[in-house]
């Protein structure tokens, strides 16, 4: 009987798994942090969303504001989170903690709500923090700082420097620090001393926001991979119902990685005469997961599945058990569709060894860190060092560094 079964279950929501982070995008619910003041810049790069740990700037977290209109989405910001419940000035804390109830009141007009919210801000900061013009008070709104705001923050507020994040649960505060900047200029010098200016030599502004809701995360394979350990165990078990057709030979497998420019590479997977080409993006760097996927195959810890985000579509690489532990089904599909790009029976050890050999060859002779970033030649020396570490991380992995 020819081996055949239905398409595997698609990967679902992230598994519940806490990860420690001191920067980057927060993926879990923010109940423990809200309401808060959020001193942040508009916008966030892919790297700022992906980061998890830093030694130089703990506390720079990305939080998204949900947007409405014809094209609803999430607009990320990057900055410092100052939970109100950590405020040491009781009068200011009580005044600010009353704002969420004011903006949710359905009995008042927008003008009334703006006036009432401003009165609470005046009570807390003595006229040094104002509701920004045209803000709709939707739970994540911008404020306009006065000259005395940062002195008040310095005296009475703490900001979050470390959390335990759970993409399937909530964010828990793990560590905080006193807000140490007594003026806007001090904060800007620290912030841009770490990050530098933009390409026009300008410093992006830091804006105070009041946040009590309306938050969201830009979920992707890259940002969720820590919570999902990068891999997924499909529920499908074809070996319970089917056997390989007698006399069916193993497909001849070929794996080739190709370096391209400006943050791109390619993975070519071939079974006999059929090749599937998958585009690899630096924005959703798949190499750590690819190594982990190969190791699971080599050790026979199956079934195993990984996703590769090609910036617009996703490829799903699945290895399933057969009744013979030395022979597996390799399948490459498009997520969210029924399209099968590649499928065949292969020798498990050959698949693992071929992938290991090609990863070694690619990172030893072809991988170019100068092209593994969308900034290209604009990378500074520190960033170039970060991307050399991609090569080191792969080649120094225990699976690639040793042979059985």
DSSP state letters, 217-243:
----HHHHTTTTTT-B-----GGGT--
Q: Where in the chain are the domains?
A: 19-223, 230-401
CA–CA separation, 379 and 369 (whole Å): 10
Identify the pLDDT of residue 26: 94
CA–CA separation, 136 and 73 (whole Å): 17
Q: Are strands 274-281 and 264-271 parallel, antiparallel or unpaired?
A: antiparallel
DSSP 90: H
CA–CA separation, 225 and 290 (whole Å): 12
Identify the pLDDT of residue 313: 82
| 86-to-140, 141, 183, 279, 353 alpha-carbon distances in Å | 19, 20, 20, 46, 54
Identify the pLDDT of residue 376: 39
- Tens digit of pLDDT at every position of the chain (404 positions): 223 332 233 334 555 667 888 998 999 999 999 999 999 999 988 778 877 788 888 999 999 999 876 667 889 999 999 999 999 999 999 999 999 999 988 878 889 999 999 999 999 999 999 999 888 888 999 999 999 999 999 999 999 999 999 888 999 999 999 999 999 999 999 999 887 666 566 888 999 999 999 999 886 644 554 444 468 888 888 888 899 999 999 999 999 999 998 788 999 999 999 999 999 987 678 898 899 999 999 999 999 999 998 877 889 999 999 999 999 999 999 988 879 999 999 999 999 999 999 999 999 999 998 887 544 344 444 444 444 578 888 898 889 987 75
Q: How many C-beta neighbours within 10 Å does residue 190 have?
A: 13
Identify the pLDDT of residue 198: 63
Identify the pLDDT of residue 199: 58
Say how many Å lie between the first and final Cα of the chain, rounded.
35
Contact 230, 310 (CB under 8 A): no
3-state class (DSSP) for residue 397: coil
Identify the pLDDT of residue 375: 40
Please name the helix (run of DSSP H) or strand (run of DSSP E) that holds residue 20, with its range, or none.
strand 19-21
> Before 303, cis peptide (omega within 30)?
yes
Identify the pLDDT of residue 88: 97
State the maximum Cα–Cα separation within the chain, in Å, rounded to a whole number. 84
The model's pTM is: 0.60
Picking from 220, 276, 187, 182, the residue whose alpha carbon sits closest to that of residue 64 is: 220
CA–CA separation, 37 and 102 (whole Å): 16
CA–CA separation, 267 and 275 (whole Å): 10
CATH class belonging to 230-401: mainly beta
Q: Are strands 60-67 and 215-216 parallel, antiparallel or unpaired?
A: antiparallel
Contact 194, 57 (CB under 8 A): yes
């Amino acid at each position: 009987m020819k081996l055949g079964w239905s398409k595997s279950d698609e990967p679902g929501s992230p598994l519940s798994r806490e990860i420690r982070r001191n920067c980057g995008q927060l993926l879990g619910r923010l109940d423990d942090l809200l309401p808060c003041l959020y001193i942040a810049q508009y916008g966030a790069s892919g790297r700022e969303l992906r980061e998890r740990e830093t030694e130089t700037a703990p506390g720079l977290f990305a939080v998204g504001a949900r947007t409405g209109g014809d094209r609803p989405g999430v607009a990320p910001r990057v900055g410092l989170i100052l939970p109100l419940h950590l405020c040491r000035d009781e009068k200011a804390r009580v005044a600010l903690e009353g704002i969420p109830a004011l903006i949710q009141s359905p009995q008042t007009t927008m003008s009334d709500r703006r006036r009432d919210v401003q009165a609470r801000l005046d009570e807390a900061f003595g006229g040094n923090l104002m509701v920004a013009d045209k803000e709709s008070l939707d739970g994540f709104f911008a404020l306009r700082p006065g000259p005395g705001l940062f002195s008040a923050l310095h005296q009475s507020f703490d900001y979050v420097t470390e959390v335990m994040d759970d993409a399937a649960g909530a964010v828990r505060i793990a560590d905080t620090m006193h807000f140490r900047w007594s003026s806007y200029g001090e904060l800007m010098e620290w912030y841009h001393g770490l990050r530098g200016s933009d390409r026009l030599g300008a410093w992006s502004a830091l804006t105070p926001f009041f946040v009590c809701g309306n938050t969201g995360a830009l979920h992707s394979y890259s940002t969720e991979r820590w919570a999902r350990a990068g891999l997924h165990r499909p529920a499908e078990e074809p070996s319970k119902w089917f056997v390989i057709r007698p006399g069916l030979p193993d497909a001849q497998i070929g794996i080739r990685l190709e370096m391209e420019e400006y943050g791109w590479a390619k993975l070519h997977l071939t079974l006999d005469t059929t090749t599937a080409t998958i585009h690899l993006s630096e924005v959703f760097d798949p190499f750590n997961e690819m190594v982990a996927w190969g190791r699971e195959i080599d050790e026979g810890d199956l079934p195993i599945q990984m996703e590769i985000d090609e910036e617009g579509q996703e490829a799903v690489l699945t290895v399933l058990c057969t009744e013979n532990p030395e022979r597996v089904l390799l399948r490459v599909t498009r997520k969210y569709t029924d399209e099968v790009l590649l499928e065949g029976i292969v020798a498990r050890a050959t698949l693992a060894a071929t992938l290991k050999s090609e990863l070694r060859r690619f990172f030893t002779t072809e991988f170019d860190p100068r092209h593994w970033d969308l900034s290209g030649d604009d990378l500074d020396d520190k960033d170039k060092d970060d991307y050399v570490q991609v090569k080191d991380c792969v080649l120094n992995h225990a699976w690639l560094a040793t042979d059985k």
